[in-house]
A and B are shown apart, each in its own frame.
Chain A
Amino acid sequence: MLKTEIINVLKQTFYFLLVVLTLPGILLGTRIVRDQSFFQIFFPIFQFGLLFWALFMGISLFSTERGQRGMEYLLSLPYSRLWLIGQKILPRAAVELALYFVCMLLYVQGGENAAAVHSFSFTILYFALFCISLSLSASSDNFLVLFVFSLFSLAAFLCLVFGVFWAALQAKGYIFYEFDIRPFFTDTVDRYLVNLIVPVALGILLPLLISLSLAFRKFDMRPAKTYNKRFFKFFVPVFIIGLIGSFMFAHQTLEIGYTRYFLTQDLQVVEANEYTGVKIYDGQREYRVNMDVYYFWPLWQESPFIYFWDGFRVGRLSTLEHTAEILYEAPRGEWIDWRNWGYDRTMAFLERKRDYSDTHLVLLDIDSCDVKKIPLTGEPFKDYSNCMIFGADKVEGRRFWLIYPQGRLEEKPIYQLWEDGRIDSIGASQKWPCYINGTLLSYAANEIILSKHKEGKFEVLQSILNKEDFHFGWYVHFQKKLSNSPVNEVYGRKIYLTSDEKNTGQAYYTEYARLDLDNFKIEELDGLKGYLNLYSADIDSYYALEMDDAAHEANLYQVKEGTLKLLKTFKDVDLTSGLNSFDVSESGMLVKKGNKIKVYALPDLKEVKFKKL
């Protein structure tokens, strides 16, 4: 019987292919369509044709027997019902898969530009149509009824898939996510949606196929109503389970945007995601901050406030009131650079248009919200529009900020920007400089140049031999924002550059050293290998997190005066997948493993429990 079935299916497939191959030829030959290649006309016809073909393959499962009045004969054959339907489905499924692969092959070989439907959408629609039409094939003798009902079922299926997605979005609090199904049909679908839609679709389609196989075991010559009743008896509970399962899966796996966690000075956790907004967790409760953010990046803390940046606004979050206020918003079409600097009660940052033109230094008084803007135009900034602020100070009552251009690792000028708008060039550096204890550290070849402000300008004090080319004072990690309190040490890393990486500025850090800021001696650190993050928790306390990929472990050290003290080892970590992350701040350490967050308070690393996190 299988042989007969295969022959029938192949015959039908041949006629189908004949039509889809002939139609473009007719359109071109009769000049109904002009100025397009055969493939450009053929491929969209082929895609749409395949969708209808998938539908046809399913609903025609018993059309031969019904049309030839052979159903009774078929059922009287010495086969079980499941065997019968298996022999029917197998050749159809094989042809469906084969044609699908042909379509995908053509898609990647140039069909993408000619395609009527995007490949992902096509895949979902194609297999959904096949499964739906198969499942309904025994429900009626009327081909037209099956056809129409299948199309309605497809619409219902799509509504359910998007409905599950929408429900999961709501349940997970993605209140700022703009749910739009149009890209599913017209555009590339984001990977997270692909990873989500396929299992959800399966969760909704599989009940149909399961119900078909369960109900068909008792299929016979009685009116379709009897079979349909039995089908729904199985379908309803299996479908409910499938739907709940799909929702739970979606709820479990849906992760849109990037969720950042930030530990406050008073051991609360701030969670920020551009689609869920900002939430604050204390040990017992979760608080939603009534504010939409495009992006949340904490700048610094001054308990109970956290100053943050979100791309075009600077604001302040209160961990006491659980509210947020915006202190400054950039003019329309302009962005605020996140590399800010704080000194006294002034936050300084660069603001510019998206094309990096029209740059200003903005000085924001964080108490009064008064703003002063200094335009950065003219010669020094003509070639270096993408600058960062790396230091600030006051000399004879006048404030200045230090600015260095971003970009390739090559010698670039350092600028001193005064509050009155005057710009001085104060040297150059091959790497990002830093400003510590009123001393400017800049870099030449194998040399660290120390400069200090004297009589209105920076003067070189001395240079230190930096044979191993260590880079000290990575500003994000090492500098406090609101004051330049004296520190006696700073840590740095040795940058290894390959010939490929030289131009991109990327580096792979493997060795670390300490620079004593009293005697300016460089001392290499032993015992730290592999990829490392160094954190400056406070003005004089440093922590190092060493990642050992081979052992899947992370070791947390306290670093003080060149010595390492192992505080804790975290096992079963995987930093390559992005599912594990660590962050050390003033108050403690925040560890993210998959969806689980754990907080350890410094200095004793006692775990802090959060009920709602």
Chain B
Amino acid sequence: MSREIINVKNLSVSMGKKKVLDNIDIKFKRGESVVIAGRNGSGKSTFLRCLANVILPDRGQILFSNGIARDKIGFISDRLSLFEDSTVQQGIDFHSSVFGIKEFDYTLVNELKLELNQKIKRLSMGQRTLFQLSLLLSQHPEILLVDEIIHTIDPYLREKFLETVIDLMGSSQTTVIMVNHTFSEIEKIPERVLVMEKGQFILDERTENLSEKIKKVESDTPIPENIPCIFKRESEFYKEYFIYPFDEGIRKKFPYEYKDINLNDMIKAFVGGQYVKDRNH
């Protein structure tokens, strides 16, 4: 996990008058697993599509390190885009011819018990997801981009999907960048968390550092305003505050009970805080 694999410089994308990605500078390392979270419409999927070459930037560059060819980038979009009128076998043949795959690994296809002459449009959501993953795996991708699909498939297939991704990371040092809203099942996967808001990354932390930097305080009374709070839930009898960035100095100064929270709650706090910010603005 040492070498840089993707370098994004000054990336900007607009859709009409709206700036979807706003001058993004970010780097990713080989073998890194990254999750991108954020509100709907913050630009996450657009960012991923830029990395996948599906959307071309208006300004800026996306540089891949030497040796990373386009056919080593795998992309599963939330739309699960494939040629739907093709059969499973035709889809495999097409993908193999484009990516120069000599021997296709039918393991996943067989596990799913997919009929090869079945049309892709007849597959269920989960089957399509795993089928597309099997196509990408055959490319031996060095970068895997996954866009908001995990929550749409059933728990069994979801687990199957994640296991495959984890295997890939372990065996091939594949860089995985996923866009996700829920983290209950993928908590162990990401090493790095990015939160996107209005086309920019407002949070870029390693997961282990995040648990030290975000804490929750539950209180009956409001906490002082000089404690950095990114999100709060206040009702008459119960108040919850999410503190970021937290350090030991705050604990010493304000002796509340600072609780650890899981990744899911951390992201919720960030995302929720943005909604509150917008409301108050």
Tell whether A221 pairs with B54 under 8 Å between CB atoms, given A71-B81, A72-B79, A72-B81.
yes
**Contact residues, B97-117 vs A (CB, 8 A):** 97-99
Chain A residues contacting B53 (CB-CB under 8 Å) are 75-76
Q: Produce 1/0 per residue, A403-421, CB < 8 A to B.
A: 0000000000000000000
CB-based contact B81/A222 at 8 Å: no
CB-based contact B83/A70 at 8 Å: yes
Chain B residues contacting A220 (CB-CB under 8 Å) are 49, 54-56
Chain A residues contacting B85 (CB-CB under 8 Å) are 64, 67-68
CB-based contact A1/B55 at 8 Å: no
Tell whether A76 pairs with B54 under 8 Å between CB atoms, given A4-B94, A222-B15, A226-B15.
yes
Chain B residues contacting A226 (CB-CB under 8 Å) are 15-16
Q: Produce 1/0 per residue, A43-73, CB < 8 A to B.
A: 0000000000000000000001101111111
Q: What is the distance, in angstroms, from B42's C-beta to the closest C-beta of chain A?
A: 17
CB-based contact A76/B52 at 8 Å: yes
Roughly how many angstroms separate A11 CA and B67 CA in the complex, as a whole number? Answer: 39
Chain A residues contacting B82 (CB-CB under 8 Å) are 68-70, 73
Which of B70, B77, B98, B121 contacts A72 (CB under 8 A)?
B77
Which of A4, A75, A78 contacts B54 (CB under 8 A)?
A75
Q: What is the distance, in angstroms, from B88's C-beta to the closest C-beta of chain A?
A: 14
Which of A3, A68, A218 contacts B83 (CB under 8 A)?
A68
The tally of residues in A whose CB lies under 8 Å from a CB in B reads 24
Roughly how many angstroms separate A361 CA and B49 CA in the complex, as a whole number? Answer: 91
CB-based contact B84/A223 at 8 Å: no
Chain A residues contacting B187 (CB-CB under 8 Å) are none
In the complex, which residue of chain A has the Cβ closest to the Cβ of B136? A76
Chain A residues contacting B81 (CB-CB under 8 Å) are 69-73, 76
Q: Produce 1/0 per residue, A12-47, CB < 8 A to B.
A: 000000000000000000000000000000000000
Roughly how many angstroms separate A77 CA and B54 CA in the complex, as a whole number? Answer: 9
Chain B residues contacting A225 (CB-CB under 8 Å) are 16
Roughly how many angstroms separate A161 CA and B203 CA in the complex, as a whole number? Answer: 59
**Contact residues, B67-92 vs A (CB, 8 A):** 69-71, 73, 75, 77, 79, 81-86
Interface size class of B (residues with CB under 8 A): 20 to 34
For chains A and B in complex, what number of residue pairs have CB atoms within 8 angstroms?
66
In the complex, which residue of chain A has the Cβ closest to the Cβ of B80? A69
Max chain B CB contacts within 10 Å: which of A64, A78, A226? A78
Roughly how many angstroms separate A477 CA and B98 CA in the complex, as a whole number? Answer: 78
In the complex, which residue of chain B has the Cβ closest to the Cβ of A72? B81
Roughly how many angstroms separate A75 CA and B73 CA in the complex, as a whole number? Answer: 12
Roughly how many angstroms separate A218 CA and B13 CA in the complex, as a whole number? Answer: 12
CB-based contact B49/A78 at 8 Å: no
Roughly how many angstroms separate A225 CA and B15 CA in the complex, as a whole number? Answer: 9
Max chain B CB contacts within 10 Å: which of A64, A67, A68? A68
Which of A67, A69, A222 contacts B55 (CB under 8 A)?
A222
Tell whether A65 pairs with B83 under 8 Å between CB atoms, given A222-B15, A226-B15.
yes
Roughly how many angstroms separate A218 CA and B99 CA in the complex, as a whole number? Answer: 22
Tell whether A1 pairs with B15 under 8 Å between CB atoms, given A73-B82, A75-B53, A76-B75.
no
CB-based contact B16/A78 at 8 Å: no
Chain A residues contacting B69 (CB-CB under 8 Å) are 78
CB-based contact B83/A77 at 8 Å: no
Q: What is the distance, in angstroms, from A357's C-beta to the closest C-beta of chain B?
A: 76
Q: Produce 1/0 per residue, B1-40, CB < 8 A to A.
A: 0000000000001011000000000000000000000000
Q: Produce 1/0 per residue, B52-65, CB < 8 A to A.
A: 11111000000000
**Contact residues, A70-115 vs B (CB, 8 A):** 70-73, 75-78
Q: What is the distance, in angstroms, from A68's C-beta to the closest C-beta of chain B?
A: 4
Q: Produce 1/0 per residue, A148-162, CB < 8 A to B.
A: 000000000000000
CB-based contact B79/A1 at 8 Å: no
Chain B residues contacting A3 (CB-CB under 8 Å) are 97
In the complex, which residue of chain A has the Cβ closest to the Cβ of B54? A75
Which of B15, B49, B84 contacts A68 (CB under 8 A)?
B84
Roughly how many angstroms separate A218 CA and B53 CA in the complex, as a whole number? Answer: 10
Roughly how many angstroms separate A69 CA and B54 CA in the complex, as a whole number? Answer: 14
**Contact residues, B135-174 vs A (CB, 8 A):** none
CB-based contact A69/B98 at 8 Å: no
**Contact residues, A220-260 vs B (CB, 8 A):** 220-223, 225-226
Which 5 A-B pairs rank lowest in CB-CB distance, beginning with the nearest? Answer: A78-B70, A72-B81, A78-B71, A73-B81, A70-B83
CB within 8 Å of A: which residues of B?
Answer: 13, 15-16, 49, 52-56, 69-71, 73, 75, 77, 79, 81-86, 94, 97-99, 121
Name 29 interchain pairs, CB-CB below 8 A, sorted by A. Answer: A1-B94, A1-B97, A4-B94, A64-B83, A64-B85, A65-B83, A68-B84, A68-B86, A69-B82, A70-B84, A72-B49, A72-B54, A73-B82, A73-B83, A75-B54, A76-B52, A76-B53, A76-B54, A77-B98, A78-B70, A78-B71, A78-B73, A78-B98, A220-B54, A220-B56, A222-B13, A222-B15, A222-B55, A223-B16
- 7 additional A-B pairs beyond A72-B77, A76-B53, A222-B15, beta carbons within 8 Å, are A68-B82, A68-B83, A77-B98, A78-B71, A218-B56, A221-B54, A225-B16
